Amino acid sequence: MSNPTYDLMNSIFSRMLPNLKAILSKAEADAEARKIDPQVYLQARLAPDMLPFTRQIQIATDQVKGGMGRLAGVQVPTWEDNEKTFEELRARVDKASAYLKTFKPAQFEGAETRPVELKFPNATFNFTGKDYLLNFVLPNFYFHITTAYAILRHNGVQLGKRDFIGG
């Protein structure tokens, strides 16, 4: 049985997470080849008030677990944000991919109208499932992957559009 919400999320996340993992590997290889301390990339930012590269990857994977969990109506797991190496970031992407595979389309019945509440220290947001997916999860997922990609390009890592979109 198919479900449009599940199909959309599974399709996007299943395609982009391996691309993200490959980008992480290319960045690590670039740092090694150019004899650059990997922390230069891992802590790099596009602007002083933006989050560093490592945090971009963490938030992108948070969108996978949060989006899938909330729209399936299950408790979202808590993951420590303690990755400090490319290897650890790739493991986090693998963890998000494995979590994605635990879901079945039937879990998303009624997801479009399911209420979703997000509480942050300074604000609370209330969504329908459809609005949460289209106006929060997917834009944030792509924003943080794109920002991570841009940080690496800004630092000279040879990446192209195909690396981002995949083959």
Domain extents for the chain?
4-105+129-162
User: What is the pTM for the complete model shown?
Assistant: 0.96
The confidence band for 167, taking pLDDT boundaries of 50, 70 and 90, is confident
Instruction: Give alpha helix (H) positions in the chain.
Output: 4-33, 38-42, 53-72, 86-100, 129-132, 138-154, 161-165
The 10 Å Cβ neighbour count of residue 49 is: 6
Residue found by looking up tokens 């945090």 in the block? 55
Dist. CA 119–CA 149, nearest whole Å: 28
User: Which tokens in the block code for residue 129?
Assistant: 């499932």
**Fold of domain 4-105+129-162:** Four Helix Bundle (Hemerythrin (Met), subunit A) (1.20.120)
pLDDT at 2: 81
Mean pLDDT of 16-32: 98
Nearest Cα residue to 27 out of 18, 16, 36: 36
126-130 contact pairs (CB < 8 A, 24+): 129/5, 129/70, 129/71, 130/5
Mean pLDDT of 116-123: 95
Mean pLDDT of 104-114: 97
pLDDT single digits (tens) 136-151 = 999 999 999 999 999 9
What is the rounded average pLDDT for all residues in the chain?
97
Nearest Cα residue to 117 out of 61, 64, 70: 70
pLDDT single digits (tens) 76-103 = 999 999 999 999 999 999 999 999 999 9
Query: Which residues on adjacent β-strands are paired with residue 106?
Result: none
pLDDT at 48: 96
User: Which tokens in the block code for residue 119?
Assistant: 């509480």
Q: Decide: helix, strand or coil at residue 84.
A: coil
Calculate what percentage of the chain has a pLDDT beyond 90.
98
The confidence band for 1, taking pLDDT boundaries of 50, 70 and 90, is low
